[in-house]
Structure 1
Amino acid sequence: MAVTSNDFARIPDEMTITEDAATFIEGLRHDHIPAEAIRIGLRCILDAAGLYVAGSEEHSVHMLIDEARDIGGRADARLLGGAGLKVPVGMAARVLGTAGHAHDWDDTQVSVDPAHVYGLLTHPTIPPLTAALTVGQMLGGIDGKRLMTAFQAGVEVESKISEWMLPQHYLSGKHSSGTVGTFGAFAAAAWLLGLKGRELRHGFGIAASFASGIRCNFGTMTKPLHVGRASENGVTAALLAKRGYTADPAALDGPWGFLAVMGGGVSPEKMAQGFGKTWSIVEPGVSIKPYPCGILTHPTMDLMLRLVTEADVKPEEIETISIHAGTNILKPIRYPIASNHLEAKFSLPAEVSMIALVRQAGKREFSDEFVASSAMQDMQRRVKTQFDPKIEAMGFDKVRSRITIHRKDGSLVEGWADERYRGGPDNPMTDAEVEAKMRSCCAGVLDSAAQDRLIAAVWGIESAADASAIVGLMP
């Protein structure tokens, strides 16, 4: 039975999540990490590398780069898009982390718990990987096994906290990639900095007060900034803790701790999972996104692609498109007509229209120019989303939807989305497909030879003498 925040006053002594997380970080060694976690971790890092490159093109990231350049400061870590300039580690993490989430294309934590309303929680890779890469540079370089260990520490801590929280956290308007992502970045930075004892526990307390991100900013520049700030704040919390800055050493626990105040409580039965006993990156796993938008829309987009391909539906033949879904999709995917690429990431009409028009939805389609085109604006107005009580009654453990395409000749093309969404653990992208996605992210920024070097560097990162140097292969 899940416990709500109102119950926490009765069980503060039973919660030891902060202590358990700290003990996990203190004791973690590379040889503790399962081989399958390493394999998946390499795929996640390759995916992220492409996303950092793609994000470097974004206007929102350019503004952060300009801000970092204007502020200046200690030359700790390379500024993405800064032509080799180095800036303080927190500022470097803010820019790199924002770039990694700028296209909303980064991987997603999976849950098999039907109590988790959307079944999908935080974007686990970017905050801890960003922290590891930037702190690693600040330390003068770190070998590949150290980078992988720090990254895995962050993913595990972030994912378990996200899994154990009640879905009220998300339903009440918090953005877990900004809030819980802070702990992922902190755990990675803390491991690299060698934090132990009270310093490590105080660091969790600092991170808990930094953690922030609200869903009203979905569809704006500030949504990816949530992840950039999570990266920066996690690093800053670790640095302050190392200096002796104090906070509550059990800040995840109790009636006034993060999980009660920000999370609405926890599921006590899940806490027995512990950290590093089962590895969340393996079980239940992560999904690598085929499309640069909210994962909740991906099964619907795949269905649309299947329908227009199999029936050879031309754009000019379409009268209307009806999308039937439950509130788990229709509430967060909130823009009825997208006017720019940021809104399109949270607009089913926009995403389905891309597929209807050009049978793909990638970096080119998620651009302001394409979204604002007359063809896109016209097609979006032919798409209607409809609440379906029968789908709602099936529950939220899967992302369910159906589409009916009404042709101008009166014929219908319709079908149901595959609940095994492409990119998820039970229908994963191949390594070759992950590489192809990475190349599509880098198109127009890095030439094919530079892409080859970056791909080779990631696949070989475990044996690298300085793994943080891969940032130098980016713009």
Structure 2
Amino acid sequence: MLDTIGVALAGADDPVTEIVRKALTVEDTGSGPSRVWGTTSTSSAIDAATINGTAAHALDFDDWAPGSGIHPSAPILPAVLAVADEIGSSGADVITAYVAGYEVQERLGLAVGPSHYDLGFHTTGTIGTFGAAAAVAHLSGADPHQLSTALRVAATQAAGLKAMFGSMGKPLHAGRAAAAGILAARLAMNGFVASNDSVLGEQGFVPTHATGLDETWLHAGFDRTWLIRDTRIKSYAACFGTHAAIGAALQLRVDPLFDAATIERIDLDIPRICVGVCTIAAPTTVLEAKFSIAFVIAAALVHGPPGVEQFTAASLTDETVQRLTHVVQLHPNDWMGKTRTDARVTYTGGRAASATFDAEQSWTDLSAGERADRVRSKFIALAAPIITRERANRLADRITNDLPRCPDVSIVTDDLVPQSKLQ
């Protein structure tokens, strides 16, 4: 939750977020019960969730679920906090609803498996709608019938196409999933009637959006497996499929003989699942750059660990980065794990160097304390320029330490106003 709020604050001024905010005519005034993060605005819960969900995914810096491949929190948390602002929920209720939505979402994502993604659907937008619906229904006190109805309504709203990758459409998927989840839950709580077949029926969501179904995950008890524990926190503001290439580049830079200026060729063995997702060869926009393994490894080789500042219009015109981007050769492999990349660089004169990196292992190898420190450091780096370092540290303490005992979550959301607008 801390990580999602941090990346959303940093994404609040991103062009896609500003466009969505403008399209919904949300101005810097109070016009509703729910906070629009990173602004002085409040709005309706549905509009706030749309904007905040878009902001949370705008930088592609939000968390990732290794099982389903969903960015799990961007659809769920903005929906939950928008409704919590409206009804005055406690921190404990928010946490419980968030976990409930996450667990339902991830189980359904695992059940439809990779075929759903392979058909061209963006799971953050599609499956994320179910997660948001389950979370908001739970927060709203839904009974079992109302909860199942919310999921049925979510099924007919779920949308998101991989064709939008590298464009503003991708972050919008998260915002629309958050909003659709709220609508689904509210309709259900008000007696809406939806077809019993809309999720698993012959013409329901699963048969029309996947070629297979692993029903094991639909029966996995919540008291036995907590999938939320497997969440991965991103280190870089780009598609997770590029992170292993970045890690390999950073290893190559440690070589005392490393010299980016004399690299003539870069060969990358990548998992085949990355093809068509993050293999844009010559990105022309910042959003495309986040889905270009060639660009991110070139940028990492030249500049080191890529921060948010590496994904700007200026970075796309860096001559050295551009030259290296064009000497990358990608070699997809079926045998390779989906979070691994093997890199080999060839220098002028024939000397070569290689490195292997697994982005998932780099997270799982950390202790719980190291993970907490990394998440907090990332949050402070992203939030401090927006709300000041002092308030960022206070907010981090409130979320990580005090939220379970917080009587009203507005104590947290009221702190999501930029310093420049507090005067």
TM-score, length of structure 2 as denominator length: 0.92
Bigger shift: 418-427 or 292-301?
A: 418-427
Q: Determine the structure 2 residue equivalent to 1:238.
A: 185
Equivalent residues of 1:298, 1:422 under 8 A apart = no
221, 235, 243: which one aligns with 1:298: 243
Amino acid of the structure 1 residue aligned with 2:371: T
For the residue of structure 1 that corresponds to 2:13, the secondary structure is coil
Q: Determine the structure 2 residue equivalent to 1:77.
A: 34
Deviations 1:53-100 (A, max 9, x none): 1111201101112223359996131223442x2211100000000111
Amino acid of the structure 2 residue aligned with 1:293: A
Amino acid of the structure 2 residue aligned with 1:92: A
Distance in 1 (CA, whole Å) between partners of 2:210 and 2:412 is: 35
Q: Determine the structure 2 residue equivalent to 1:106.
A: 62
Equivalent residues of 2:85, 2:409 under 8 A apart = no
Report the CA distance between 1:369 and its aligned residue: 2.1
Does residue 138 (structure 1) correspond to residue 117 (structure 2)? The answer is no
Deviations 1:170-199 (A, max 9, x none): 000000000000011111110111122433
Report the CA distance between 1:255 and its aligned residue: 1.7
Equivalent residues of 1:186, 1:234 under 8 A apart = yes
380, 389, 408: which one aligns with 1:466: 408
For the residue of structure 1 that corresponds to 2:235, the secondary structure is coil
213, 221, 227: which one aligns with 2:174: 227
Deviations 1:301-322 (A, max 9, x none): 1011101123452321222222
For the residue of structure 1 that corresponds to 2:211, the secondary structure is coil
Q: Determine the structure 1 residue equivalent to 2:289.
A: 344
Distance in 2 (CA, whole Å) between partners of 1:67 and 1:86 is: 15
Distance in 2 (CA, whole Å) between partners of 1:293 and 1:192 is: 32
Q: Determine the structure 1 residue equivalent to 2:306.
A: 361
**Residue correspondence of structure 1 range 22-421 to structure 2 within 5 A:** 45-69=1-25, 75-83=32-40, 85-111=41-67, 120-139=68-87, 141-282=88-229, 285-387=230-332, 391-392=333-334, 394=335, 397-418=337-358, 420-421=360-361
For the residue of structure 2 that corresponds to 1:127, the secondary structure is helix
Equivalent residues of 1:46, 1:455 under 8 A apart = yes
Amino acid of the structure 2 residue aligned with 1:271: L
Distance in 2 (CA, whole Å) between partners of 1:201 and 1:419 is: 36
Deviations 1:20-54 (A, max 9, x none): xxxxxxxxxxxxxxxxxxxxxxxxx1111111111
Equivalent residues of 2:38, 2:386 under 8 A apart = no
Equivalent residues of 1:318, 1:405 under 8 A apart = yes
* Higher RCO (C-alpha 8 Å, min separation 6): 1
For the residue of structure 1 that corresponds to 2:346, the secondary structure is strand
Q: Determine the structure 1 residue equivalent to 2:420.
A: none
Instruction: Structure 1: give runs of 5+ residues left out of the alignment.
Output: 1-44, 112-119
TM-score, length of structure 1 as denominator length: 0.82
Distance in 1 (CA, whole Å) between partners of 2:328 and 2:247 is: 16
Distance in 2 (CA, whole Å) between partners of 1:182 and 1:305 is: 36
Equivalent residues of 1:400, 1:419 under 8 A apart = yes
RMSD over aligned Cα atoms = 2.2
Report the CA distance between 1:250 and its aligned residue: 4.9
Equivalent residues of 1:89, 1:135 under 8 A apart = yes
Q: Determine the structure 2 residue equivalent to 1:11.
A: none
Q: How many residue pairs align between the two structures?
A: 414
Find runs of 4+ consecutive structure 1 residues off by over 4 angstroms.
70-74, 424-429
Amino acid of the structure 2 residue aligned with 1:129: L
Does residue 435 (structure 1) correspond to residue 376 (structure 2)? The answer is yes
Distance in 2 (CA, whole Å) between partners of 1:439 and 1:451 is: 6
Equivalent residues of 2:197, 2:203 under 8 A apart = no
Distance in 2 (CA, whole Å) between partners of 1:196 and 1:127 is: 22
Distance in 1 (CA, whole Å) between partners of 2:398 and 2:388 is: 16
Report the CA distance between 1:213 and its aligned residue: 0.1
